[in-house]
Amino acid sequence: MSRSLVASLRRSLLRLKYRQFMAAWLLSGLGATVLACSPDGAESPSSPSESAAPAAAQADPTLRNLSQGQLTGVVQDNGSLAWQGIPFAQPPVGELRWKLPQPPAPWSGTLAATDPIQPCPQFVSGLSAGIADPDGDGIVGSEDCLYLSVYAPDNIPEGESLPVMYWIFGGGNNSGYAGDYNGGKLAQSQDVIVVTVNYRLGSLGWFYHPAILAADASGAAASGNWSTVDTIAGLQWVQNNIAAFGGDADNVTIFGESAGGGNVMSLVTSPMAEGLFHRAIVQSGGIGTTSVAQAVNYRDDDVPGHAHSSKEIINMILQRDGLAADRASAMALQESMSDDAIRDLLYSQDAAAFLQLYNPEAARNYPAPKKFTDGTVFVEQDPLAQLASGDYNQVPIILGTNRDERRIYLYAAMTDVIRNDPQEYIRFAHYPSVQWKWRGVDNLARRMAPAQDAPVYAYRFDWDEQRTSDNGLDMAVAIGAAHSTEMAFIFGDWDVGFISGDALYYPATNPGRDQLSAAMMSYWTNFAYTGATGTGRDGALPLWQPWRNGEGNPKTLILDSSADRGIRMMNDEVTLDSIKTDFMAEQWSAPQNRCRAYLATFGGTSAFDRDEYNGLAEGGCGDL
């Protein structure tokens, strides 16, 4: 019996307990109501099955009939069709805060799906650029944010169904929004349907305390993983509605970047997402979960909780509101409160004031526990062990990172080093960047490749042909192939990413940039069509081979322009040990840079050694 068959049987046994729950969950509203059944159980005339193909004869080419109601979109400048801001769940406000996403209410008349999706509540940052903060409290967005957008080419032959690519944005799971990504160019040029989805962020998306649960809550309704289930609800909406836009519900690729890539891995490992997608692409992602104890307990319990666990947050509310003088008295008061009193306290919190408890300095990313191993949304197993066992949603998958991931976070604070000692800066950024490749690609691929029959592909994005800035900063050194820079190449949109547009590109290198973008879109969409990257959709690109364990076997596709060695396979892989060996042999201009780079690379990993760290520099590294 093959290992994959054994894993399949093991998964079936593991998921039996979820199937009854899922059936009840869907029938209770999330999936079933979107079928709009008539009293005798037959589908109503407005159901997707009777309006699946776009009607060429319609006066408005964007007019569609869904079970929720009729809607129209817009024809974009490049000819693609766009429907922006479609509700896929009821607004999670009032009593629906910290509850499962509920099925969207039907509407009367024709919904004009023409406005880009607005963000869920988050701190003002570069990822919320253009979103007004009229009250100046440093928080933008609304809890009424569960919307998605659909993008389609304008020339779908009648009766044909196109692959669906379901985009999950990044931003640390604390910031960002789907409205920042327009899938029209990708859809129009590659004949795919692109869906971009919003999901609840931060502590409004992942929050667990027994007092907020309904008396009969169980399974996902008692998980605290509201945001993860938002993305699952969006996938369920796709299953029931995407045919109306020309999409194939049996060919869905989930893809995302950074935290969005991590959320793709969450769906790969979540039993609740089984069958809702068929391929996966993880761009600069990773994998990780948090225990329920960390989500709830006090930080000094025998099993300690997170510094911002739900009980610690209640302590902060009680102190902020003058109900307790200090943490000790807040704990005593909290322990005396009934569940109803705690629930009322939490639900009375204004979203902005609640977020500010986590982050008084209003930085974009604030520390909060997420992705709880509740036994339903996430299994109670280390996710790396889960991947090695094969007990996950096995689909063809692409894992990738960018060569210079960490430069995006370093350049603003290290401009003097970039100008005066660029090799020191490159050296400093290299090690935490290659560590990202280890945790986001190699450490996952070497577990998954032998555990599944479906192929595992890996890439590294290397393009670094940026301009010199107006103040003389070489952006090819300062930014290079940094975090988020690959997204513009996949969407064909040069304003996508943390830094974009004229800050990065200039006419001399744009032809090579555009050629690489076309190649990446071709690989990505060939994968969406077939489950294999191959030689791209036109069959003219270098063969992208699957990851194979073992020295000398193909591992990673390098994505670069023809001016800089081009697209090619690489056989090397990295381990935490190999990174440590290279790091310790490195020569540094400044000892404090060696200390800081060590912390940035190995802090929080099994490779961190306090004595080794203290010995990196004469006199020790200190408390950096």
Distances in whole angstroms, Cα of residue 263 to Cα of each of 199, 229, 544: 11, 11, 25
Q: Where are the alpha helices (DSSP H) in 242-291?
A: 259-269
pLDDT at res. 624: 56
Distances in whole angstroms, Cα of residue 319 to Cα of each of 316, 325, 326, 336: 5, 6, 6, 15
pLDDT at res. 172: 96
Task: Decide if 44 contacts 65 (C-beta within 8 A).
Answer: no
pLDDT at res. 58: 52
What domains appear along the chain, each with residue ranges and CATH number?
3-283 (3.40.50.1820), 292-358 (no CATH), 398-574 (3.40.50.1820), 578-614 (no CATH)
- Provide the 10 A C-beta neighbour count for residue 347: 13
DSSP string of 211-230? GGS-TT--GGGGSS-HHHHH
Q: Considering Cα of 111, then 115, then 116, then 117, what sign does the dihedral take? A: negative
Single-letter code of the amino acid located at 116: P
Q: CA-CA distance, 31 to 234, in Å (whole number)?
A: 10
Residues of the chain with pLDDT under 70: 1-58, 623-624
**pTM of the predicted model as reported, rounded to 2 decimal places:** 0.91
pLDDT at res. 532: 98
Report CA 142 to chain centroid distance, whole Å: 20
Torsion of CA 351, 357, 361, 367, to 10 degrees: -100
> Shortest CA distance to 129 belongs to which of 364, 350, 360?
364
Q: Which two tokens stand for residue 55?
A: 């009607």
pLDDT at res. 471: 86
Single-letter code of the amino acid located at 32: A
pLDDT at res. 223: 95
Q: CA-CA distance, 159 to 382, in Å (whole number)?
A: 44
DSSP string of 585-617? H---SSHHHHHHHHHHHHTTSTT--HHHHHTSS
Task: Decide if 151 contacts 183 (C-beta within 8 A).
Answer: yes
